[in-house]
């Protein structure tokens, strides 16, 4: 499978990764190799196999609608790079 530099740039942007321009060619090759390897799975006949999305055959794991204790606000904000007046602070987004 061929991966274009545009595809690499697009996926990198979606994941907010910064990739040096000189690395793009190498990444194209590497991703193509990975995808080709994963494509090996396509050789297995899965005609009668339902799609697997979960590793365990369980359904309906619920909890009751009962409140638990909250984190203290100090703890909630403790790892934030920036906070003010009880809020997390981030660069302006709109």
Partner 1 sequence: MLTFEPVIGLEVHAQLKTDTKIFCGCSTRFGAPPNTHTCPVCLGMPGVLPVLNRKVVEYALRMALATHCTVPGPSRFARKNYFYPDLPKGYQISQYELPIAVKGHVDIQVDGQERRIGLTRIHMEEDAGKLVHAPDRPISFVDLNRTGVPLIEIVSEPDMRSAEEAGAYLRILRSIIRWIDVGDGNMEEGSFRCDANVSIRPAGTTTLGTRTEVKNLNSFRHVEKALRHEIARQTEILLDGGTIVQETRLWDPDKNATVSMRGKEEAHDYRYFPDPDLLPIVIDDAWIQRVRSELPELPDERRARFVADYQLPGYDAAVLTASRELADYFEACLVLYDHPKTVSNWIMGPLLGLLNAQEKPIEQSPVSAADLADLLKRLGAGVISGKIAKTVFDEMAVSRRPAADIIEAQGLAQVSDSSALETAVDAVLAQSADEVTRYKAGQVKLMGFFVGQVMKATKGKANPGMVNAILKERLG
Binding site for partner 1 (CB under 8 A): 10, 13-14, 16, 53-56, 58-68, 70-71, 73, 76-77, 82, 84-94
Nearest to 6 by CA among 23, 24, 18, 20: 24
Q: For partner 1, which is the closer residue by CB, 49 or 55?
A: 55
- Is residue 78 helix, strand or coil? coil
Q: What span, in angstroms and rounded, lies between the C-alpha atoms of 31 and 39?
A: 12
Q: For partner 1, which is the closer residue by CB, 47 or 70?
A: 70
- Is residue 83 helix, strand or coil? strand
For the bound state, the minimum distance from the C-beta of residue 23 to partner 1, rounded and expressed in Å, comes to: 21
Tokens linked to 22 = 């000189």
For the bound state, the minimum distance from the C-beta of residue 1 to partner 1, rounded and expressed in Å, comes to: 18
Q: For partner 1, which is the closer residue by CB, 28 or 77?
A: 77
């Amino acid at each position: 499978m061929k991966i274009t530099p545009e595809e690499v740039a697009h996926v990198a942007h979606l994941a907010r990764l910064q990739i040096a321009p000189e690395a793009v060619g190498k990444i194209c090759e590497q991703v193509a190799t990975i995808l080709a390897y994963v494509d090996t799975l396509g050789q297995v006949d899965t005609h009668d196999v339902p799609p697997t999305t979960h590793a365990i055959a369980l359904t309906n794991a619920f909890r009751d609608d009962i409140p638990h204790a909250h984190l203290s606000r100090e703890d909630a904000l403790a790892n934030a790079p920036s906070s003010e007046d009880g809020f997390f602070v981030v660069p302006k987004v709109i």
